[in-house]
């Protein structure tokens, strides 16, 4: 029993955090909301250069040969930065699906993915497809499909950086779905961490009644509760990552625990942070909505908290 990450895993996480702080600041995320594609080839190439995109691609195909335990901390960083790029669909779900299919398809596509030259997306639920407009290959339960073979009808998303398209077909299999739900849970933890920090920072700066509002217990307790939710979600997410990586028979149970907890933790953290910010947090000119809207989207994508609790066998 050694429930810790290695120094190398933590160092990789810090490197990705530093990279995203520089290359994906809130101004970038905001610019992407009105960009025609909402995606930045430069940013994607940069992430590929760091090894993030190809983390789960086997070394023989140019990747790092990592597993979910390595990826989960990087997905947290994606959430922390509100990264618009389809890292979840490509690295967490698409690549393992391609690995499972194997053969010529894997040999053709995995090296391109690792190099940052190809983007994958997946049929999450049989209702929507995320990022089909920039994907080079769409993975469905009936096999891979090229975007040119589909008529893409864009759907409005609560998260302006998330590009969704209608999809009428079956959702991916349980194993792939669990990878997506796990990855979404990790991103949600990163979002929760960031909005709690934003709330704490603001509570130290903002003065009312001649004092920083963070000195008031009502404000302290809001943020402490938000942190409580996050800190107890994280071990569930890491346990789920270990279960997926090791093929544990309890995989779906732990993924459901992780996703239900992380969804609730992120929603509660966003609400708390918004409350601490007050009216400024409710404006579009403040950055908080970049995380709040992404949290709302991901808390409901890949199975809601209630859906996952229903899946946990009693």
Partner 1 sequence: MDLSFTPAQDAFRSEARAWLSANVPREPLPSFDTAEGFEAHREWERRLADAGWAVVNWPEEYGGRGAGLIEWLIFEEEYWGSGAPGRVNQNGIFLLGPVLLEFGTPEQKARYLPKIARSDEVWCQGWSEPNSGSDLASLTSRATLDGDEWVLSGQKTWCSRGAFADWMFGIFRTEPGSERHRGLSYLLVPLDAPGVTVRPIAQLDGEAGFAEVFLDDVQVPVANTLGGRGEGWKIAMSTTGFERGVVLRSPGRFMATAARLVKLYRSRAAALPASLRDEVSRAVTDTEAYRLHTYWTVSHFLAGGEVGAETSLNKIFWSEMDQRMHRTALSVLGEEAELAGPWTDGFLFSLAGPIYAGTNEIQRNIVAERVLGLPRG
User: Any contact of residue 235 with partner 1 (CB under 8 A)?
Assistant: yes
Dihedral sign from CA coordinates of 74, 258, 202, 160: positive
3-state secondary structure of 130: strand
User: Any contact of residue 231 with partner 1 (CB under 8 A)?
Assistant: yes
Between 145 and 245, CB nearer to partner 1:
245
* Token digits of residue 152: 């893409």
User: Any contact of residue 262 with partner 1 (CB under 8 A)?
Assistant: no
Stretch that binds partner 1, among 35-43, 86-94, 153-161, 254-262 (CB under 8 A): 254-262
Q: Pick the binder of partner 1 from 228, 286, 300, 304 (CB under 8 A).
A: 228
Judged by CB under 8 A, the chain residues 193 through 222 that form the site for partner 1 are 196, 200, 203-204, 211-212, 214-217, 219-221
- Give residue for tokens 């995606």: 39
Q: How far is the CB of 141 from partner 1 (least distance, A)?
A: 27
Interface map 4-43 toward partner 1 (x if CB under 8 A): xxx-------------------------------------
Query: Which residues have CB under 8 Å from 53's CB, separation 6+?
Result: 44, 47, 87, 90, 91, 113, 114, 116
Task: Give the largest Cα separation in the chain, rounded.
Answer: 68
Q: Pick the binder of partner 1 from 87, 160, 189, 236 (CB under 8 A).
A: 236
**Size of the residue set binding partner 1 (CB under 8 A):** 42
* Token digits of residue 171: 């959702």
Between 47 and 241, CB nearer to partner 1:
241
CA distances from 132 to 160, 191, 240 (A): 15, 24, 27
Q: Could you tell me which of 138, 102, 113 has the C-alpha nearest to residue 53?
A: 113
What size, in residues, is the chain? 314
Query: Which residues have CB under 8 Å from 215's CB, separation 6+?
Result: none
User: Any contact of residue 282 with partner 1 (CB under 8 A)?
Assistant: no
* Token digits of residue 112: 């391109």
Between 108 and 310, CB nearer to partner 1:
310
Alpha-carbon radius of gyration of the chain: 19
Q: How far is the CB of 152 from partner 1 (least distance, A)?
A: 36
Interface map 68-107 toward partner 1 (x if CB under 8 A): -x--------------------------------------
User: Any contact of residue 257 with partner 1 (CB under 8 A)?
Assistant: yes
Is 278:285 a contact under the CB 8 Å cutoff? no
Interface map 130-169 toward partner 1 (x if CB under 8 A): ----------------------------------------
Is 90:204 a contact under the CB 8 Å cutoff? no
Q: Could you tell me which of 228, 238, 312, 240 has the C-alpha nearest to residue 264?
A: 228
Between 139 and 196, CB nearer to partner 1:
196
Angle of CA points 271, 275, 278, to nearest 5°: 140
User: Any contact of residue 275 with partner 1 (CB under 8 A)?
Assistant: no
Stretch that binds partner 1, among 136-144, 162-170, 232-240, 280-288 (CB under 8 A): 232-240
Q: Given the rule CB under 8 A, which residues bind partner 1?
A: 1-6, 69, 196, 200, 203-204, 211-212, 214-217, 219-221, 223-225, 227-228, 231-236, 238-239, 242, 257, 260-261, 306, 309-310, 312, 314
């Amino acid at each position: 029993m050694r429930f810790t990450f290695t120094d190398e895993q933590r160092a990789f996480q810090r490197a990705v955090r530093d990279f995203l702080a520089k290359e994906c600041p809130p101004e970038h995320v905001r610019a992407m909301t009105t960009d025609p594609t909402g995606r930045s080839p430069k940013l994607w190439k940069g992430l590929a250069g760091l090894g993030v995109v190809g983390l789960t691609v086997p070394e023989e195909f140019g990747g790092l040969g990592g597993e979910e335990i390595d990826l989960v901390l990087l997905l947290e960083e994606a959430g922390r930065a509100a990264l618009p790029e389809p890292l979840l669909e490509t690295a967490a779900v698409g690549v393992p699906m391609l690995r499972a299919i194997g053969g010529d398809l894997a040999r053709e596509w995995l090296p391109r993915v690792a190099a940052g030259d190809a983007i994958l997306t997946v049929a999450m639920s049989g209702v929507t497809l995320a990022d089909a407009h920039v994907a080079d290959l769409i993975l469905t339960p009936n096999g891979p499909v090229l975007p040119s073979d589909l008529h893409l009808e864009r759907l409005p998303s609560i998260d302006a950086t998330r590009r969704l398209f209608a999809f009428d077909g079956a959702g991916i299999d349980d194993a792939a779905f669990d990878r997506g739900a796990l990855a979404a849970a990790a991103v949600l933890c990163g979002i929760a961490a960031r909005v709690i920090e934003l709330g704490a920072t603001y509570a130290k700066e903002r003065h009312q009644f001649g004092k920083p509002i963070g000195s008031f217990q009502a404000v302290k307790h809001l943020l402490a509760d938000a942190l409580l939710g996050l800190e107890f979600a994280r071990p569930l997410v890491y346990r789920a990552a270990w279960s997926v990586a090791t093929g544990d028979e309890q995989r779906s149970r732990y993924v459901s625990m992780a996703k239900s907890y992380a969804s609730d933790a992120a929603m509660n953290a966003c609400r708390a942070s918004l409350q601490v910010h007050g009216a400024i947090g409710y404006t579009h000119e403040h950055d908080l909505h970049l995380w709040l809207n992404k949290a709302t989207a991901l808390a409901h994508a890949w199975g809601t908290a209630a859906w996952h609790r229903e899946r946990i066998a009693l």
